[in-house]
Amino acid sequence: MRHAQRGRKLGRTTAHRLAMFRNQLASLVVHERIVTTLPKAKELRPIAEKLVTRGKGASLADRRQVARVLEDRGHVKKLFDEIGPRFADRAGGYLRIVKLGPRVGDGAETAALQFVDYDPARGEEAKPAKETKPTAAKEAKPARERKGGRASKAFEGRGRK
């Protein structure tokens, strides 16, 4: 029996699970919102909130503790220079989990883990806007009407219209 055993194993070995959490934390710091499964989001939120709490402090010890998890110096810098100061007057609860519904492929319950002050426009300032042009996919002929190819031959001589 698993009495007093905390945390989900998520079907992974310990090393794989910790590596996955590190990768997701790095993505969360960079994009400020990630989409994952609901159990992963529930396991990741307390870890991420502890990092943000460290990010509010400015001591060298705090930076070193965060750098143990976020190995990229740029991610550590963003956490301490941008994310931490945004939550300076907040005592906790920096992240929210938004349920998104089942995933198409396997039906797993998905959720978005995002900062409570998440603004999608904040990350788009550095990126130039892409101009979209009409795609050719809308104008493409169905498989039956194409010349040659396997799809048109498959329908010949079978009595289908």
Summarised one tens digit per residue, pLDDT across range 124-150 is: 544 455 565 655 555 555 555 555 555
Rounded distance, CA 6 to CA 9, Å?
A: 9
User: Residue 158 and residue 161: Cα distance in Å, rounded?
Assistant: 9
The pLDDT, as a whole number, for residue 58 is 85
Measured CA distances, 82 to 79, 88, 112, 122 (Å)? 6, 11, 21, 11
Domain ranges of the chain: 14-119
Residue 25: pLDDT band with limits 50, 70, 90: very high
pLDDT confidence of residue 49: 96
What is the model's pLDDT at position 140? 56
Closest CA to 142 of 133, 152, 153: 152
pLDDT at residue 119 in the model: 85
pLDDT in tens, 35-92: 999 999 999 999 999 999 999 998 999 999 999 999 999 999 999 999 999 999 999 9
Sign of torsion, CA 57 59 65 68? Answer: positive
Looking at the DSSP bridge assignments, the partners of residue 115 are 95
| CATH T-level assignment (fold) for domain 14-119 | 50s Ribosomal Protein L17; Chain: A, (3.90.1030)
Q: Considering only CA atoms, which of 135, 151, 22, 16 is closest in space to residue 75?
A: 22
Better pLDDT: 78 or 157 = 78
